[in-house]
A and B are shown apart, each in its own frame.
Chain A
Amino acid sequence: MTTPPESITRQLPQPVRFVLGMGILVGFAALGTGLTTLLPLPLPGPVVGLLLMWAALSAGLVRLHWIEDAADGLLGILGLLFVPATVGVIDYLSAGATWGLWLLVMLAGLLLGAGAAGLIASRLVKE
């Protein structure tokens, strides 16, 4: 394979590359949402967008350096982006002691799931 010519997108200033990445990521989310309404699939559009993005990267349709600034930026503050949702927990404070039960159920799920995954993966790891 011949060396590809130096991509012109690499010459973009970093903030503009961020804008390019955001445009592509939002575009894939919209594409995913469009597909789910068109087909219609009982799937969230952005998750379909994630799968399409994976496919596009693998097929070489989208280059990693087009989107990585925006993707790393968003994922670096992912914890901030769902604070607006988690704050809604103030409407469930009245559940009081039931929260303990919810956490116990969750703990059981965590231990069962991670325990099984860990033991199965230990056996299947290739050295």
Chain B
Amino acid sequence: MTWVALTLLAFVAGMLLGLRVRSPLSNPTLVATVLVAAALLLSHTPYEAYRQNVQPLSALLTPAVVALAVPMYRLRALLAKQWRALVLGGLSGTLLGVTADTLLPRWLHLTDEAQRSLKTAPATSPVALQLAQFTHAPPALAATLAVLSGLVGALVLPPFLSMLGVKHPLARGIAIGSVAHGVGTARAREEGDLTGAASSIGMGLAAVMVTFIVACGL
């Protein structure tokens, strides 16, 4: 249980840092991962021992994935009114993201593990983790790359979209959410409620879209 305690406290430490330093890099998941990883390496604890120790925490992921339906349901009025922009925009963004994350690693002859793990990066980390059993990716790598996709997206996408001349809050939000899910959505919320809402929808659609792409064995 010591590792459970350490993981909880490391996450709170990351949250506190985030209140001080406003940057996508002061993300609580990233901070907690670095702190816990350092503690494991310093104490020569194998990852497998840690993973079994913190099983109770991971068990909460299953209901959390189901809970993703709630923000989507709350935003149903917006979704119904703007479904063309949100659904068509979001799905094409996610599809293109997954396609690039599938084909580029193949062309670059990346390792098998990297190829399998990269393709689910546009899906929120808990879903990427669930999909690992079907893509035969190492779960840890798939989850980490998904988190990094959110972090990098939160950093680069807002200025990139401005450069492309994408100004409408709905368009900016759905673009960020469709590939940069959780962390991206937190960043989108800083631009305004509408951007945050659209990003939340994009994240939900991406989770479902990536799941179906994997199910179809593409």
Contact A118 B161 (CB under 8 A): yes
Asked if A47 meets B101 with Cβ closer than 8 Å, knowing A87-B36, A105-B108, the reply is no
Number of A-B contacts (CB under 8 A): 328
Q: Which residues of A contact B197 (CB under 8 A)?
A: none
Least CB distance, A33 to chain B, in whole angstroms = 8
* In the complex, chain B residues 92-135 whose Cβ is within 8 Å of any chain A Cβ: 92-98, 100-101, 104-105, 108, 110-111, 114, 118, 121-122, 124-127, 129-131, 133-134
Nearest-neighbour CB distance to chain A for B17, whole angstroms, equals 13
Q: What A residues does B108 contact at CB under 8 A?
A: 101, 105
The residues of A that contact B152 with a CB separation of less than 8 Å are: 103, 106-107, 110
Q: Is the CB of A64 within 8 A of B73?
A: yes
**Interface of chain A, main secondary structure:** helix
The answer for the CA separation of A92 and B138 in the assembled complex, in Å, is 10
CB distance from A43 to the nearest CB of B (A): 5
Most chain A CB within a 10 A radius of its CB, from B40, B131, B148, B217: B148
Interface string of A95-126 (1 = CB under 8 A from B): 10010011101111111111111111111111
Q: How far is the CA of A113 from the CA of B103 in the complex (A)?
A: 14
Instruction: State A78–B62 Cα separation when bound (angstroms).
Output: 11
When A98-B110, A115-B175 are in contact, do A84 and B54 touch as well, CB less than 8 Å? Answer: yes
Cβ of B19 < 8 Å from any Cβ of A? no
Interface SS of B by simple majority = helix
Chain B residues near A82: list those with CB within 8 A: 29, 58, 61, 125-126, 129, 143, 147
Whether A108 and B100, one on each chain, are in contact in the complex, defined by CB atoms closer than 8 angstroms, is: yes
A88 touches B215 (CB 8 A): no
Contact B47 A112 (CB under 8 A): no
What is the total number of residues of chain B having a CB less than 8 Å from a CB of chain A? 109
Please state if B208 and A126 are interface contacts (CB–CB under 8 Å).
no
Q: How far is the CB of B71 from chain A (nearest CB, A)?
A: 7
Is B33 located at the chain interface by the 8 A CB criterion?
yes
Of A42, A46, A90, the contact of B65 (CB 8 Å cutoff): A46
Contact A83 B134 (CB under 8 A): no
A86 x B147 contact (CB < 8 A): yes
Q: Which residues of A contact B22 (CB under 8 A)?
A: none
Chain A residues 57-75 with CB under 8 Å of chain B are 57-58, 64, 67-68, 70-72, 74-75
Q: Show 16 residue pairs from A and B whose CB-CB distance is below 8 angstroms, ordered by the A residue.
A: A25-B66, A29-B66, A80-B8, A82-B58, A82-B61, A85-B144, A87-B47, A98-B110, A102-B145, A106-B121, A107-B152, A114-B93, A117-B89, A117-B92, A118-B89, A121-B174
